[in-house]
Chain A
Amino acid sequence: MSVVESPTLSEETNASEALGVAAVASHDAGALVVALAGNPNAGKTSLFNALTGLRQKVANYPGVTVERKEGEWSLASDLPPARLIDLPGLYSLEAASADERIARDVLTAPEQVGDTRPDVVVAAVDATNLERNLYLVTQLLETGRPLVVALTMFDLAERERIEIDTARLGRSLGVEVVPVVATKRRGLEDLARAVLRAAGAEAPGTRWPLSDEAEAELDALARADSGVRSAALADLYSEELPEDADRRAAVEAARERLARANPDWWQEPLRARYDWIGRVAAESVRHSRARGRSATDRIDSLLTHKILGPVILLVVMALVFQTIFSWASVPMDLIDGGFGALGEAVRGAMPAGLLTDLLVDGVIAGVGGVLVFLPQILLLFFFISLLEDSGYMARAAFMMDRLMRGVGLHGKAFMPLLSSFACAIPGIMATRTIENPKDRLATILIAPFMSCSARLPVYTLMIAAFFSDRKAFGFISVGALIILAMYLLGLAVAICVAWILKHTILKAPAPPLVLELPPYRVPNPLNIAQQMRSRSWLFVKRAGTVILSISILLWALVTFPQSDATQDDPQARAYVSQATRETGVESRGEPAPGVEPASPEASTKEGEQIRQSYAGRLGRVIEPFIEPLGFDWKMGVGLIASFAARETLVSTLSIVYNVGKDSDAESPSLIDAVREARRPDGRPAWTPLVAVSMMVFFVLACQCMSTVAIVRRETNSWRWPLFMVAYMLVLAYGASFVTYQGGRLLGFE
């Protein structure tokens, strides 16, 4: 085997510089299209952000959840800015994951993913990890697209005394190699000039010959088809077979012949590429300092230490959890209060009527209900980007993998599930780091079982009403034990469901773990800001529309048909409205500013309204079905309303029990009302057993329209969110049934 080198770059490229720019100018009136490819952790995101600034758009490729990022890159002052497409991070064009398939398609068959064929490909290559990064470059060279190599983290390589002869490396590769330091904006102009030159130049013909047998098969396959070697190479060696039947037969026959001679025939191009890379690297790279223990090794001796490692992980996670769980409540209360005040201002300024109600209780409350999640999402993604960018996230997955594998999940599922204890929405959004679609889906489907903060008001009310003074063994609060039991119940069911899912509809071999542990690096603030911005925008845009629509629908359900009482009484109307507003915005138990406490008559009227509204009627329709769980129709109304958001149960119960909508989970009047509520036959409606049954239902049911909306958005179909709501409802019903009926058999009331 010999290396066939392409012509050197020196004079030819300089001469073609003018030609290159001319070719660009004549290319079309529009912009040059440049694709940015690179390994994960190769500094691709930093480079993309440095080249485009904030001029970028984030969207999804059609039909998949792979993110498509595009930005504008000013190559030269007298040219229109280029369209820079940021391809997903990938190790190979072999299409092992959805990300890699998209990246390969953009490079080889862009029309399939609705993209434009890039004029130039820029490969981000980590200078500190040259050999493995060059593997992708060899594959990019095979595609025959004009290519420029951006040697990233050049400063780190210099610090590690890795000397790279970039001119020589460029000659060996047959493309220009430009050292860059994205964070310091070094080399970016050189990179732009190199891209302009490459746009007009011939693609390099660099190649690494295979064995004679393999070359002969490639020749034959190429002749039978387009005559292009790279197409034959892809057909012969990729895991997928060509779709065309004749071609498929020819490829299969060729593979059989090769396999007879050498069982490891499929490894040949892989080994040829690495052999070639080894020689190229040996020529152009010199390590002037022998590599001993690096800074990363020293940090890891602490952070992945057998005992200290898990302890530190626990502390980090506790901090993240604490932040999402409690610190986010300050801005959330501000948003909540702000929208409440806005609603009241609008109500005061407009004439009382349905339009005002719709605007205040449907639209403003709905928008508030979307925006109230933003602090949690921003905070969680701040931490996730920080942990990811620094390299710690990979260590967390490394340490947790053994535990997560027990239920058939990937180590990377740990973080999203933990976040879901605060709120499932940012947790589900965080599953994007899991490459395998089945693992990711399984993680999404069990995330809502983690007891989120919205369930707490429900637990609090039930415990305040029935278990507040009880002590177990004389000193342990029964209430605390019950809350703990609810958290554990959610966790246990999640583990069982994950196990079942991974052995049935999401059956797949245990996901292999081939996870890079990148060197620790100082996080790039621009990357973090960009990540927070794009994630929150995606949430507002996609989930927001669904949440807003459901919020308006729920408003209509409790508002129509109008009772005589409310039609005549604007004050009562205001109270009814107030109740529905809680559907979107978490009730924090404080009256919205500007609302007087409810008078008894008004409370009765709003109770009357909700009882005969569509929601109230629905409550009576479902009563026979929820009776076996111990629930009456009034609780049914609460359940229906709580499918928008769990905490709504509290405000809805306040309305149906006529104690005023501003009661919170700890308000004495609501607690008394719950204790004294009677069924038609005079028995108490609520008993401790009913309360437990209700809590069990809330642990397991997917009562959160925002979760449904985000699952719809993350899985790109209604199939999985609907499946999730259905199976969780079945589980919740079953568990409540067993709790209530089992409790009665054991003699509880």
Chain B
Amino acid sequence: MTYFTTSHVGRNDLMTTKSPNVSKVSTAAQATTLDRLAAGVEARVVAVEGTDAVARRLMEMGVVPGAPVSVVKAAPLGDPLEVRVRRSYHLALRRAEAQTILVVTSEE
């Protein structure tokens, strides 16, 4: 995929090896939820679960199926998460909200 620059890949590798979730993020396409995504790994949104106002708000903010998302980091106390949305802006989400976002990691 064209949007991965070399520097990106290098950083991703660094982050994944540090992450405790490393086993869940393989190089093959894999479905998971956003809160379990390792920092720095880009994934695509598959679905936003729930029909409540939060799901709607997330989708209004661009977290729609097909949109690229990645976790930048967790807040100092472990929650909320800083999420990069559509490669253009950053959003703070609690893990509870991130759990409702199904993603699939891109094949590389």
Contact = CB atoms under 8 A, between A and B. Distances in A.
Interface of A: 91-92, 94, 96, 128-132, 135, 239, 264, 266-267, 270-271, 274, 278, 290-293, 296-297, 300, 304-307, 309-310, 394, 397-399, 401-403, 405, 411, 510, 512-519
Contacts of A306: 76
A131 B67 CA distance: 11
B88 A132 contact: yes
A304 B82 contact: yes
A291 B47 CA distance: 26
A398 B94 contact: no
B13 to A, nearest CB: 15
A398 B80 contact: yes
A129 B88 contact: yes
A398 B79 CA distance: 9
B88 A399 contact: no
Nearest to B54: A512
B77 A403 contact: yes
A541 to B, nearest CB: 35
B81 to A, nearest CB: 9
A290 B57 contact: no
B82 A514 contact: no
Which size bracket describes the interface of B in this complex?
35 or more
A307 B76 contact: yes
Nearest to A126: B89
A92 B92 contact: no
Contacts of B91: 514-517
Contact of A274 (B11, B67, B93): B67
B97 A513 contact: yes
Contacts of A267: 48, 59, 64
Nearest to A131: B86
7 contacts: A96-B56, A128-B88, A270-B56, A305-B76, A512-B96, A513-B94, A516-B61
B62 A309 contact: no
- 8 closest Cβ pairs, A-B complex: A402-B77, A517-B90, A92-B60, A515-B92, A290-B5, A512-B54, A132-B62, A270-B59
Contacts of B51: 266
A129 B89 contact: yes
Contacts of B88: 128-132
A292 B82 contact: no
A518 B82 CA distance: 11
Contacts of B67: 274
A307 B75 CA distance: 10
Contact of B86 (A91, A132, A399): A132
Contact of B79 (A130, A264, A291, A402): A402
A297 B84 CA distance: 11
Contacts of B61: 91, 132, 514, 516
Nearest to A397: B92
A297 B64 CA distance: 24
A296 B90 CA distance: 10
B64 A399 contact: no
**Among the interface residues B54, B78, B92, which one has the most CB atoms of the partner chain A within 10 A?**
B92
Contacts of A92: 57, 60
A135 B62 contact: yes
Contacts of B75: 304, 398-399, 401-402
Contact of B93 (A278, A305, A510, A513): A513
A529 to B, nearest CB: 27
A401 B79 contact: yes
Contacts of B72: 297, 300
A438 B65 CA distance: 32
B87 interface: yes
Contacts of A398: 75, 80, 82, 92
Contacts, number: 125
Contacts of B48: 267
B58 interface: yes
Given A132-B85, A398-B82, A94 B60 contact: yes
B5 A292 contact: yes
Contacts of A304: 73, 75-76, 82
A512 to B, nearest CB: 4
Contacts of A517: 82, 89-92
Nearest to A515: B92
A402 B78 contact: yes
B60 to A, nearest CB: 4
A92 B58 CA distance: 11
B28 interface: no
Nearest to B67: A274
Contacts of B77: 399, 402-403
A513 B92 contact: yes
Given A132-B61, A401-B92, 16 more contacts: A129-B88, A131-B88, A132-B89, A267-B48, A270-B56, A274-B59, A278-B66, A290-B3, A291-B87, A300-B82, A307-B76, A401-B75, A402-B78, A405-B94, A514-B91, A514-B97
B79 A514 contact: no
B97 A512 contact: yes
A271 B67 CA distance: 10
B80 to A, nearest CB: 5
A92 B93 CA distance: 18
B52 to A, nearest CB: 9
Contacts of B8: 290, 292
B54 A516 contact: no
B71 to A, nearest CB: 13
B42 to A, nearest CB: 12
B80 A402 contact: yes
A292 B8 CA distance: 7
A16 B47 CA distance: 45
Nearest to B3: A290
Given A270-B60, A292-B8, A512 B76 contact: no
**Among the interface residues A274, A296, A307, which one has the most CB atoms of the partner chain B within 10 A?**
A274
A224 to B, nearest CB: 25
A291 B11 CA distance: 13
Given A94-B60, A130-B88, A292-B7, A401 B54 contact: no
Interface string B34-50: 00000000000001100
B50 to A, nearest CB: 10
A304 B75 CA distance: 7
A519 B89 CA distance: 8
**Among the interface residues B57, B79, B80, which one has the most CB atoms of the partner chain A within 10 A?**
B80
Contacts of B65: 271
B64 A270 contact: yes
B56 A401 contact: no
A411 B90 CA distance: 17
A403 B58 CA distance: 23
A39 to B, nearest CB: 9
A667 B22 CA distance: 68
A143 to B, nearest CB: 16
A515 B57 CA distance: 11
A394 B92 contact: yes
A54 B53 CA distance: 38
A96 B61 CA distance: 12
Contacts of A130: 88
Nearest to A403: B77
B76 A399 contact: yes
A137 to B, nearest CB: 13
Given A304-B75, A394-B92, A135 B97 contact: no
A96 B57 contact: yes
A290 B82 CA distance: 21
A518 B94 contact: no
A512 B5 contact: no
A96 B62 contact: no
B80 A401 contact: yes
